[in-house]
A and B are shown apart, each in its own frame.
Chain A
């Protein structure tokens, strides 16, 4: 069993999503983008039968940085069951096409239709021909190889049609061609016939020029509208400034493919390149009907929600309680804050894919700090917590940081750490022994002589109330007459306050480093290397 009672790893290990991975969609911005897209589709579909013109089409652009979820969103929309009632969707990834020619791009679009869509269209065409046969249209019965003998044996045209649909009977293609010729254009007829033969994708051999390709795409869109009452959506991913791509897309846009939506996924960099390469294509993109914006797709809230959504989706509200969600969110926050390299969806999913595998191997009920630490060490071996002098492992960093909410406890922890740091420095002769009379000055916490004999008093002042901090610091400074040097460690950013006082501002990372050192010191876990680091830590906060 995986953590959170899951039966499988909810995350995908591939850098780009597959159709099955894209069933899950998290993140407020991604969901808003999905709504915008569905609104566009719904708007156009509602015009079918209500004045939808033959050349009514829409252009949608999705422009965002790499790894922000463009492909995931696109595939998610393609896989929506509700959308299958209103649309036929083809997904083509231009980066997978080489060499890039009109034919190869057209082929990718044809391949981008699901088999299910093509079967459905084939079935619809056959049912249309069946109706023609039942209406005694000349030559229609011949398609189904229906004769008087079939009537004697109780077979109907409908049952013959079903046999053809089930591929148990081959229709008379020549007869079908004759009947359809009266209802469709030449190119539509060619496409319909290739669909009846289950050879739609072979149509690429009929395409020599861009004009041929556009005519075929237009015919496919018209067939979808006529026989299925559905829109055709052409999803083009990884659109760039390649000349062939630009020519094909410009042609598609200008052709106003009937009852169609063209969606283009590209990066801001590609958008700029297109502007330089072809101002006419750029201008058309600028005037797209819908510009889906995934702005903020890499903010913490978005990345957090997406990461949690994978577990929620597989859990179905059984084990993944709100407390567990909060706990996991706090770990995601630490990773997000500490490692700017991971502030994007793709990286975070990759980390959690490995982390959940690591937790699973140790039979953990949750993704714990150890799992994340193991993942970072294994998958990103060069990565360390920034600014940590004690070289704190990530798992310890996460654990300590999570418990850092009580400032009073933090202050006490830092005070103990500083005391032990002075002791440690004394062990190597950098400072004199810690004075037991630390109350020599009011507000002083630690008293010692440094290596030059200077009498030093250290005061730790921390609270959320910065004003109170400053007041406390000021009072400490005023009463420090009997020491040579007053060192004030505080979390309130304050300048030096004269009177020989040195104010050292320490941030949360430094506090965590101190607490980590303290933990090791109290367990007698300080070895030679740690001692050197401890000395450096002491110097960094001006203890010696």
Chain B
């Protein structure tokens, strides 16, 4: 009895030792590329991708991650050489559960794993606290979907984003609403997240500036499914339009219950609730919804990207995948130009990069925001959201007009021929 116990303990200990040894060995040499002694024929470059993969917006998170994965897979297939070695890109996909606390933990995990760059996070609420961690470690991070202005207002040199900001998106949907729906009274609701509240604030500002009466703000949470009480209260104030800053999982029930209560107002939403999912969540009630997305519609992304995505994952991209795809490609492109995966070396290249990707031409301004970011207004028609207007630099135009205008601006020089095929797709 005693012997067998001792033996077991020894075996367990041995396994433990072996296990530890195995785990630790490959870690350090992976990233510290320029180390001469064991001259590795290839270097492994880790690119982090952070998005919520569990919880209410996991479908959007997966979409974001797929965008990164596609870019990484393509880069590997292209057999890129960096610093004279074969570069092997590895995506480290992390789940931040859309929770700011988890977001910082995950960010630290990526920093500790010595990633060369990060694409993420999906939410503004997780991106902002995480950004200081990346900044401390000097690791470039590009968000493909966080739209809260604060993210790039912190003066962090490593923080970029390839989508527009709420203070561009909010005014866009608000001015579209003001000129097309001509409401006298508008109710504004948000989900009390950094994203929802920030967007709602911008909408309110623009509406107030346009001399439209805005009712006192109503709030829910990012888990609220029962909006009846709030909507009933609003119904008594007879708004002509209701704007909601929040995601589709909460926005769907909101719109459905609003129509059930006999509210006839126009419903307008931000990009978080600007998905086809809305028609499933709200049923027929979703018809006529107005919503905005930072950037261009998924449909208007380059055909090459759309085909490659469909082929790789057997689904269509939902929302931000073209942006995270571009973000990952920009990291890789900057590394290629700097001929180094060392963040300190390729960061200056990234900041001045002029890149044409799936979402058109991308250049960063001093803050790390995308220059001249477009906003798109959609409406729900027959269960699908359809782009009805693209707003660029304060001007509203239809999608066809935009594509006509954008076409000559996109030369075929860059790694990806962008807008040419996209135009045909969008016209269908």
Verify that A and B bind, or say they do not.
no
Chain A positions within 8 Å of B, measured between CB atoms, are: none
Chain B positions within 8 Å of A, measured between CB atoms, are: none
